[in-house]
Structure 1
Amino acid sequence: MLGAFRRSSGLSGLLHFRRSSQLKGSKAFEATAIARKQSQPIRPYFRLPDSFRKTKEVGVFPSLQHSSVWSVISFAKVEFLEWYLTMVKCRPVLTKSITSALIYTAADLSSQTIALSSSEPYDLVRTLRMAGYGLLILGPSLHYWFNFMSRLFPKKDIFSTLKKMALGQSLYGPSMTVIFFSMNAFLQGENGSEIIGRLKRDLLPTMLNGVMYWPACDFITFRFVPVHLQPLVSNSFSYAWTVYMTYMASLEKAAP
């Protein structure tokens, strides 16, 4: 019986040895096949265009970069507009005065750029005078004038708009033109008779040109723009007009 047990154990050991040898052989074969497969070069079945591969290396498409830049710019514009409208409501007179000063500064520099030659320097004192007029006189007066018009004629129908335009052309416009020419001449050192001579020479042509320019601007402003934004729109229209006004104000003294 002991001999039979030994024979059976020897037979089972032999079978186990053969199975382990076969298993090791199969694993070695699989490892060799994997190594051969990895060593072989991979042939691409589809080649991407150069432009696509370059953008893939960068990680972002150019169109996406372009759109992201414009989205940032648009967001900044919206933020600035919201900030400006908030300032118009919280600090109306100050905001409108600074806006007028900036527009008059830009308009005067534009006027000098047109009139001066490339070798002539800018007259920064003149620009400072124009900015001071916009800051101290025009900006506050526009605020109170438009508020007064909205209380006097609260409706925005055609008839009310025409009445606002008529008052602007007959009262506000001439008054501000006289103040503008007189203040600018006084700051340049002109005396009373010289200021009167300048007004006689320049006031009427300026008013006639204003009648051709301002009615359409006033109609748009009074008819379609909210009251708190009317000074801003009027200042925007006044840019081209201010270029002309600063040119007229820079003319030589009138002959006595």
Structure 2
Amino acid sequence: MNIVALSKRLLPRRFSDRRSLHRINDAFVETVFSGRKPILGFSGRSFHHLRKAGSFVVPRVFFVSSRLRNLSTNASSSKQPAFLRWYLRKLESHPFITKSITTSLIYMAADLTSQMITMQPSESFDLIRTARMASFGLIFLGPSQHLWFSYLSRILPKRDVLTTFKKIMMGQVLFGPCSNTVFYSYNAALQGENSDEILARLKRDLLPTLKNGLMYWPVCDFVTFKYVPVHLQPLMNSSCAYIWTIYLTYMANQTKADS
């Protein structure tokens, strides 16, 4: 016998139908979450009377109310800053372009920071170099991160420690070498280097970059894969990439390698 049928036998007649039980449940939820006085003539004494009918104890909340979920969702979202709420809505409605633009802006900021660290007082910002970095984030890295993290979440949906290490290993073996190879090749091509010069640059710079990445990215990836929701993982990855890109843009804009 379910709780509704049993309550019809044990509760007073005016509370015996399903509609009344829903009204009781909604009244209780509104009372708890809004801080208002009980409504529908629903006092603490009468509620205690409803909970205990003979030797049978009726649960405090009869049904899982959608109003409870809506109240908790609205309460949590109202505490978020307006910009964060706007950004999360964009991630939901236009995930591909939002992640691409975010990555582009982070790469642009990282390159400007890198230039500030290395340039002499008499020098000025190389905005063409910054545009190259921003375009790489927009055209290549942002879209590839979106596809990569979505793919990993499909083939490895769990978030336990073993699965997290599998994702980290795949990132170090597949995604990292591919993205760094494309980065160096793309940047060198836009600087006018030919194929032989690009290959010489890769031989000189790619392996040291991957070695240094082994000391930085596994920690960032562990936090990303273990604790960050899938739709925010590219943002977390790009945020970690801000520090990494300061080093990466410095490496990418060194003098040509001897071919």
Length-normalised TM-score, structure 2: 0.69
Note if 1:122 corresponds to 2:122. Answer: no
For 1:119 and 1:89, locate their aligned partners in 2 and report how far apart those are by CA, in whole Å: 45
Report the equivalent of 1:244: 247
Deviation of 1:76 (Å): 11
- Runs (5+) with no aligned partner, structure 2: 1-77
Structure 2 match to 1:167: 170
CA–CA distance in structure 1, aligned partners of residues 129 and 221 of structure 2: 28
CA deviation string 1:190-234 (max 9, x = no partner): 000000000000001000000000000000000000000000000
How far 1:92 sits from its partner (Å)?
Answer: 0.2
**Per the alignment, do residues 189 and 224 of structure 1 end up closer, same or farther by CA in structure 2, a change over 3 Å counting?**
same
Q: Which of 98, 103, 108 lines up with 1:100 in the alignment? A: 103
Q: Which residue pairs with 1:82 in the alignment? A: 85
Partner of 2:137: 134
* Residue correspondence of structure 1 range 211-230 to structure 2 within 5 A: 211-230=214-233
Query: CA offsets, 1:35-66, max 9 Å, x none?
Result: xxxxxxxxxxxxxxxxxxxxxxxxxxxxxxxx
CA shift, 1:119, in A, is 1.2
In structure 1, C-alpha distance between the alignment counterparts of 2:79 and 2:218, rounded to whole Å:
34
**Alignment partners' CA distance in 2, 1:174 and 1:92:** 25
Which protein shows a greater Rg? Answer: 1
Please state how far the C-alpha of 1:77 moved relative to its aligned partner: 7.0
**Which of 110, 114, 117 is residue 113 of structure 2 equivalent to?**
110
Q: 1:158 to 1:108 in 2, by over 3 A?
A: same
CA distance in 1, matches of 2:226, 2:252: 31
Q: Which has the higher contact order (CA 8 A, sep 6+)?
A: 1
Output the CA distance in 2 between the equivalents of 1:116 and 1:77: 39
- Structure 2: distance between partners of 1:183 and 1:76: 42
SS at match of 1:110: helix
**Counterparts of 2:80 and 2:204, CA distance in 1:** 44
Identity of aligned residues (%): 56
Letter aligned with residue 139 of structure 1: G
CA distance in structure 2 between the aligned counterparts of 1:85 and 1:218, rounded to whole angstroms: 21
Q: Deviations over 1:77-122 (max 9, x none)?
A: 7000000000001000100000001000000000000000121011
Q: Which amino acid aligns with 1:201?
A: R
Change (3 A) 1:76 1:190: farther
| Unaligned runs of at least 5 residues, structure 1 | 1-74
Count of residues paired in the alignment: 182
Question: How many angstroms apart in 2 are the aligned matches of 1:77 and 1:138?
Answer: 28
CA offsets 1:134-188 (integer angstroms, 9 cap, x no match) = 0010000000100000001000001100000000000000000000000000000
Q: TM-score, normalised by structure 1?
A: 0.70
* Residue 235 (1) aligns with residue 238 (2): yes
Instruction: Determine if the alignment matches structure 1 residue 196 to structure 2 residue 176.
Output: no
More helix by share: 1
Query: 1:185 & 1:140 partners in 2: Cα distance?
Result: 21
Provide the C-alpha distance between the structure 2 equivalents of 1:175 and 1:164, rounded to a whole number of angstroms. Answer: 15
Deviation at 1:128?
A: 0.2
